[in-house]
Structure 1
């Protein structure tokens, strides 16, 4: 599937370049759809043509020279991070700041109608087959591929926003804004850590979802509600909030998340806002003792965190099955995207095999 800057093309004419040393060719079995994929289609300056998608589970088809530890037929989840290991940031043990790790400099692994096609986020899971670095792969064993596909973004970003960036601990009161694919995992991550979780969403139907994944309380945010007023209301109704995790990118939710934690509390921003969005911030609140932090993928270190998340999913400690509202065949991608935009699903997944 190719995005040309104006529309999506479902095509069988997409081909891959030859495999290189250190790479693995993977047949995509399932691909999750993320708001980041939708967001790319709204950026006029985005590199095109491009194959979108960055949540993938698949099967190893071939391994390049120098690759060890993977065999044809292995079932894998694919991560987006590919730090170079050589730059200043990698040398400082800050691989999340490496310019190559998120696909900021895209590869061009595909060819379509005689034109080179760019990758997205080092994955491009909307393709039938992809080329990725061996270090991006994580064995999912018997985990169903529709669940394994969520590990690389929704699950890791949400859970690690609570565990890594939020440093949530037992007894904390945690507010999670936006109960979508990332938000439910932030709820789960906080709940597993022993926190009392307050979920906030402007869609009342999200209450059942939030409670299913461990929220003790639910608050309906009114459309257009002032963020600072919402923050005050949450503090009055629920008491001191230790950690706020913003997963929606909506300006009102961002401003509420910035202002609702107590003195000494922490705000984690991981929701995707429209380019150029600005939020109000009271410096009095920050200077009084409040931390604001944001890193893509929730601050996850794949080698450290992904195997743990996969094992928790396999044992049921993390509930991935109920996040998948519907699985669409690839040909119905437009329907899947529409459902995600409408907030009708927690996570939309594409099945590449039917």
Structure 2
């Protein structure tokens, strides 16, 4: 099978990768489409927790093999793959917060792949930069007639962004919501807030993002100046667009986070979901939050797959959520480095790998 492998120095494509056999409660999926997320790009470092590794965590494909103990699925079924594999038994799972389970999160404990006989790690319980993967049956969600390119985005960009607004932001009709960082997650945070009846202001340092933000429901756009003092930027946002009820920060940039923490109204809510660089620190203005404000930081937007994914898929199928226009381009696996370069340069909103090309 073919896969893009990160060895700490190079991201290269090999057709010599092998996959272990399917086990109890597991399914082998032939990956047909894979999104590329900035979380994947953040792992392209010599300091990744496990190396070598096959990255990618946004997958859509077809079931190729069903393991023992799995019911309700048939080979050939088209599915989106979720990243969460909560254990069901830890404190957080028992509290009804499986998205906070830390038993099965990030890098899987085993090494399901091998290359030239050496173990290769999996990422986020998926590894969609591989043409075949083994996942738990509980990670699968039927996409039926939803196009594969769109189905691949459900597992992260769509669920994280939409749920950041709806679940963590608790956005209500009439709220004013500011979304920082208009990338793959940001456009979905905009959609999640707009669909709930909010007035959305988009903020980004790239002027080309204004058209993108408005396409997905933003009513106003603010061009960020990375050199501007965060307190001054927050004051301007609050003056021109306040009172601001909810902020969803998707960029992970320290300056944007510092502005986000300062611009909400008294009792406002700040949701931090952007991937920051390792070692980054932001300054929390304590006086703002002593007055009743709330800061929530998470990587998955608070999405609970079994609760949220079917609804998101249905809303995408009905057109309530616009997934088609998020996809700026489709690349074959052999050109994955080109797709990543386009994302890093801010030239595309979403890049998708087509394993059939």
For the residue of structure 1 that corresponds to 2:149, the secondary structure is helix
> Alpha-carbon deviations, 1:28-61, whole Å to 9, x = none?
0000000100101125142001100000000000
Structure-2-length-normalised TM-score: 0.97
Asked if 1:270 is matched to 2:245, the reply is: no
Distance in structure 1 (CA, Å) of the matches to 2:143 and 2:289: 42
Kept in 2, the 8 Å contact 1:80–1:101? The answer is: no
Give the Å deviation of 1:107. Answer: 2.4
1:182 aligns with 2:185: yes
Deviation at 1:97, TM superposition (A): 2.3
CA contact (8 A) 1:28 1:59 kept: yes
Unmatched 5+ stretches in structure 1: none
Q: What is the match of residue 328 of structure 1?
A: 331
Partner of 2:169: 166
User: Could you tell me whether the CA contact under 8 Å between 1:26 and 1:132 is conserved in 2?
Assistant: yes
Q: Which of 88, 92, 97 is equivalent to 1:94?
A: 97
The Cα of 1:95 is off from its aligned counterpart by 1.6
Instruction: Quote how far apart the aligned CAs of 1:26 are.
Output: 0.2
1:11 match: 14
Residues 148-182 of structure 1 deviation map (CA, whole Å, 9 limit, x = unaligned):
00000000000000000000000000000000000
- Where does residue 284 of structure 1 map in the other structure? 287
Give the aligned length: 354
| Conserved 8 A contact 1:151-1:310 | yes
Q: Residue by residue, what CA displacement relative to the aligned partner does 1:115-163 show, whole Å, maximum 9, x if unpaired? A: 0111000000000000000000000000011000000000000000000
Give structure 2 stretches of 5+ with no counterpart. Answer: none
Q: Secondary structure at the residue paired with 2:353? A: strand
Tell me, yes or no, if structure 1 residue 243 matches structure 2 residue 246: yes
Contact 1:261 1:267 in 2 (8 A): yes
**Among candidates 43, 47, 50, match of residue 44 of structure 1:** 47
User: 1:294 maps to what in 2?
Assistant: 297
Aligned to 1:26: 29
Spell out, residue by residue over 1:247-267, the C-alpha distance to the aligned partner (whole angstroms, 9 max, x if none): 000111101111111001100
Choose the corresponding residue for 2:209, options 206, 211, 221.
206
Matched, 1:127 2:153: no
8 Å contact kept, 1:95–1:101: no
2:63 is aligned, of 60, 65, 68, to 60
For the 8 Å contact 1:107–1:122, the answer to whether it is kept is: no
Q: CA RMSD in A?
A: 1.0
Question: Does structure 2 retain, via aligned residues, the 8 Å contact 1:165–1:294?
Answer: no
Contact 1:162/1:189 (<8 A) preserved: yes
Note the C-alpha offset of 1:88.
Answer: 2.4
Shift of 1:296: 2.2
Q: Distance in 1 between matches of 2:207 and 2:46?
A: 30
Q: Report the Cα distance in structure 1 between the residues aligned to 2:333 and 2:196, rounded to whole angstroms.
A: 37
Q: Deviations over 1:71-123 (max 9, x none)?
A: 10000000000011122222222222222332344321111111011100000
